[in-house]
Structure 1
Amino acid sequence: MPTTTGMKGGGYYDANSQVQRLTSEALLPWMEEAIDGLPKPAPDQRSWNFLDIGTSEGANSIYTMNHLIEILRRKSDLPVWALFDDLPTNDFNQMFLNLFPTSNSALSGSDVYSAAIGGSAFGRLVPPETLHLATTYNAIGFFESKPSAPLPHFVIPMIPNPDAPRKGVHVSASELIPFQKQSYQDLCQFYTARAQELVPGGKLLIQVYGKTESQCTGHGIMDVLSDAFLDFVEADMLPRSFYENFVFPAYYRDLDELTAPLRNEPELSTSYRIEHTQVYDTRAHFDNEFARTGDRKIWAQSYTSFLRAFTEPVLADSLPDALVKDQIVDKIYQRIEQLLAENPERYEFHFISIAALLTRL
């Protein structure tokens, strides 16, 4: 079964995903190089076919796709298929509103056509050897299916932030092993599906939140989520069994883990050439504003909205119906906002990205 029902809809994700846009903008120089090196479509192909995987409500994807089309138009005037994929439960209504805010398409240029695909990033999405360029930003950080391994003392499979300790919160190296194996298998499926879909010479750009030896994207955001849950458990507003059974279905890889299947799996090592890899830290807009103004309240509000945009669907789906009806979700995010305002240093956030540009051989 899918790991989530998509991001928080109704325009909420679009309004609170500025940092995700910055991470994709950082890779535009790679995209220019990639498009310059694309092979001309075969005689039986009458269009360039671009696919973005994990589009969510679409504002960021459309923004990036317009840049790609602008680059492409410097070399070709062939028609363009701009394809956008996400889970079938995604808010595609909002995505289409973004694509067509008026009677005209938001995609620039002539002979540009758009379509939406409902499907998992870890399976085939289009016919074989039809794609010239595939991109994905952050989507493959989520597991293909909900993890079944237990993780009773934290909310996500990662070593908790050593700078935000709390009694009873811990994850052992052995507890991480089944999640590491699941992450590896998910990547193998993802790379295999894209290898089947890309034309020879086609390009695949992967960016996903991750970690380095000293920092992890989960630091801060998962600490405050865990702390809020435990505060509610200790106040008898959530059962302890909820905390013990809750696992946020995402994994923070390092760069070595991102590229491991391309080295270790013979079928994949002969399918791709690695052109570039990179690890980088994107400073969030709310951190920049906090540094400028020192306003904890505004910082906490923006930070909470960013966090809520991608965690609420998982949280709401995991809670008993009676608690959801009791507006416990709103109360949890109110507590998160309060914790952030009270102790910004404890929940310092770094958006660590790992990225790779691949060529289909």
Structure 2
Amino acid sequence: MPTTTGMKGGGYYDANSKEQRSASDAFLPWLEEAIAALPEPASHQQSWNFLDIGSSEGANAIYTMNRLVEIVRRQSDLPVWALFDDLPTNDFNQMFLNLFPASTPALSATDVYTAAIGGSAFGRLVPPQSLHLATTFNAIGFYETRPAARLPHFILAMHPNPGAPREGVEVSTSELIPFQKQAHQDLCHFYAARAAELVPGGKLLVQVFGRNETQSTGHGLMDVLNDALLDFVEADMLPRSFYEAFVFPAYYRNIDELMAPIREEPELAAAYRIEHAESRDVPVPFNTAFASTGDRETWSHSYISFLRAFSEPVLTAALPQDLPQENTIEKIYQRMERLLIDHPERYEFHFISIAALLTRL
């Protein structure tokens, strides 16, 4: 069973995902190089076939796909299949509204055909050797299956942020091992599925939130969520048993972990050539605005809206159903916003974007 049902729907994710677009934009120049090197489609295909994995409601995915079509149109007039994938629980209604605003195709080039696929990134999504290009942005950081292991003193499989210490919040190195193994296995499944789907010479661009030597995308984000949940536990508004059992189902890899399956697993090493692999600390729009204005309230609201877009479905599914107070979700996010306003330095946020461009051998 997937560890998340997808992003917050109804247009909310689209409205609060400028940060994700900034993180993916940093690597879009690689795609121009990748498309220029693609092999011509085989005669039986008669089209370019592009797949975006983890498209959510579609605004960012459609923006990227338009870029890809624009690039391929410089060298070919062949039709393009533009395929968009996400979990079956995704808000596909909003995706189709984004694909056809006012009944006009958002992918405006001629001979471009669109389809949506419901399925997990960690399994096969299309027929074998049918794709020329696959992309995924900020999607495969969520576990395929959550490990059964527990982290009773933090909500994330990561050493807590040294810049936001709190008494009793800790994770040991040994506690992380099951989560590291699961994250590696997830990537192996993802790479193997794409290896089956890509034509020889096809390209795979993988980008996801992660960490570098000093910062993690989880710093700040998970600190404020953890602090708010602990505040509710200490106020007897949430049971401690919930906190001790709850693990946010995301893993923040470094670039070595992103590449480890390709370098260590013989079948994957034989399937791919690594063209690029990098991590970058990318600009965050709400941080840029905050540095200019110093407006804590606006910064905090934008920060929480961004966090809420991907965390609320997870938190809603995990919370006990018999809580003594109403609107618990709303109150938790209100508490997080208050913490940000009062302690912006404690919850400093960096978007560490890690990515690789691979060629199918």
Equivalence map 1:124-135=2 (5 Å) = 124-135=124-135
Deviation at 1:321, TM superposition (A): 1.9
SS of the counterpart of 1:102?
Answer: helix
Distance 1:309 1:201, change over 3 A: same
- Name the counterpart of 1:261: 261
Deviation at 1:146, TM superposition (A): 2.4
Equivalence map 1:340-351=2 (5 Å) = 340-351=340-351
Equivalence map 1:51-70=2 (5 Å) = 51-70=51-70
- Name the counterpart of 1:209: 209
SS of the counterpart of 2:115?
Answer: strand
Q: Partners of 1:62 and 1:52 in 2: how far apart? A: 9
- Name the counterpart of 2:285: 285
- Name the counterpart of 1:49: 49
Distance 1:325 1:114, change over 3 A: farther
Equivalence map 1:99-110=2 (5 Å) = 99-110=99-110
Q: Partners of 2:325 and 2:23 in 1: how far apart? A: 36
Letter in 2 for 1:189: H
Moved more, 41-50 or 21-30: 21-30
Contact 1:69 1:108 in 2 (8 A): no
- CA shift digits 1:75-125 (9 cap, x unpaired): 000000000000000000100010011222101200000000000000000
Count how many residue pairs are aligned between Structure 1 and Structure 2.
361
- Name the counterpart of 2:339: 339
Q: Partners of 2:9 and 2:236 in 1: how far apart? A: 30
Equivalence map 1:111-190=2 (5 Å) = 111-190=111-190
Q: CA RMSD in A?
A: 0.9
Deviation at 1:323, TM superposition (A): 3.2
- Name the counterpart of 1:317: 317
SS of the counterpart of 1:323?
Answer: coil
Contact 1:136 1:207 in 2 (8 A): yes
- Name the counterpart of 1:276: 276
Contact 1:100 1:106 in 2 (8 A): yes
Moved more, 314-323 or 173-182: 314-323
Letter in 1 for 2:76: S
Q: Partners of 1:125 and 1:27 in 2: how far apart? A: 24
SS of the counterpart of 1:139?
Answer: coil
Deviation at 1:132, TM superposition (A): 0.2
Deviation at 1:283, TM superposition (A): 2.0
Q: Partners of 1:326 and 1:254 in 2: how far apart? A: 39
Contact 2:206 2:357 in 1 (8 A): yes
Q: Partners of 1:163 and 1:65 in 2: how far apart? A: 38
TM-score normalised according to structure 1 size: 0.99
Contact 1:144 1:186 in 2 (8 A): yes
Distance 1:162 1:116, change over 3 A: same
Contact 2:23 2:283 in 1 (8 A): no
SS of the counterpart of 1:213?
Answer: coil
Letter in 2 for 1:129: Q
Q: Which runs of 5+ in 1 are unaligned?
A: none
Q: Which runs of 5+ in 2 are unaligned?
A: none
Q: Partners of 1:146 and 1:189 in 2: how far apart? A: 15
- Name the counterpart of 2:30: 30
SS of the counterpart of 1:43?
Answer: coil
Q: Partners of 1:74 and 1:344 in 2: how far apart? A: 46
Deviation at 1:189, TM superposition (A): 0.3
Contact 1:316 1:324 in 2 (8 A): no
- CA shift digits 1:26-82 (9 cap, x unpaired): 112100000000000001011100000000000000000000000000000000000
Moved more, 341-350 or 278-287: 278-287
Q: Partners of 1:128 and 1:199 in 2: how far apart? A: 8
Q: Partners of 2:228 and 2:155 in 1: how far apart? A: 11
Q: Partners of 2:326 and 2:241 in 1: how far apart? A: 18
- Name the counterpart of 2:359: 359
Contact 1:147 1:247 in 2 (8 A): no
Deviation at 1:324, TM superposition (A): 9.6
Percent identity of equivalent pairs: 73
Q: Partners of 2:325 and 2:199 in 1: how far apart? A: 49
- Name the counterpart of 2:238: 238
Contact 1:57 1:94 in 2 (8 A): yes
Letter in 1 for 2:308: R
SS of the counterpart of 2:88?
Answer: coil
Q: Partners of 2:344 and 2:71 in 1: how far apart? A: 41
4+ runs deviating over 6 angstroms: none
1:250 aligns with 2:260: no
- Name the counterpart of 1:12: 12
SS of the counterpart of 1:338?
Answer: helix
Q: Partners of 2:261 and 2:156 in 1: how far apart? A: 23
